Structure 1
């Protein structure tokens, strides 16, 4: 794989033993996130959050993980819901589910295929920033994430345009 897909955001300085749990889905973005993280030296595992019994995402995520050569675990959001506020909706459970699974597995970081960036200031405060490509920016959807989540979140797609990700997908044939 070419080095053109390594963003200069500092993540490429992590050591080989650093692990990240990637929230998988059926889209190419998750697959690209896995490949970028692997290229940056992370040991990657996948997880899919089952939001309902009729959720078809699980089979697609398991298939994607198999194609990527990584482990994939299934997390049941309904089991987690009892531990959160009653007003939580299923989609709000993805990040807490990923963090809980990462903690159980001894994994420091979580990642998703969202198009946004996380930046940490000199005081150690992390914040969501817009994606480098304004047309694909999803930072508004992540703006309410708590500091505890942001401090452990990696968003590898935030540095890339959709065209660059299409090139990566073509290069890696996924």
Structure 2
């Protein structure tokens, strides 16, 4: 009895609303139904769009995020025109600390306020040895670039000079002018 009801309802729904094979015109107009989807599904699903859309071989197609990232990288690699002015107050606060521990906590407060990690990322979490206490953990914040930039000679050659300048500036700001 249940099988008869389900079959009847399925037939009624299909006749009232159509079947799944009927796609919206916006989608079906992009498809190339002359292509066998089992051999080339991309051409089947996007073939008409691909045939009707003019793509130039000598022109890059960039999405907005790639363009924004390129602008940011260009801005970051430009010569440092502001000098230390934007971070001078932070440097004074760290340098005026009375102890190393105080300097670390001031640096952590500045990092939290600005969202920029220092040479270490400080986190507070439960102590593994005593669950009733908290512990301060210092972790490496990660590399400034993805590993591939350091591993691939072509990529490294493109960024080596500005990266070395960045490292030298970092050591100078840390008080190691001889680096």
Asked whether the two chains share a fold, i.e. TM above 0.5, the reply is no
Which TM class, normalised by the smaller chain length? under 0.3
Instruction: State TM-score, norm by structure 2.
Output: 0.23
Instruction: State TM-score, norm by structure 1.
Output: 0.24
Higher relative contact order (CA 8 A, sep 6+): 1
Pair member with larger Rg = 2
Larger helix fraction of residues: 2
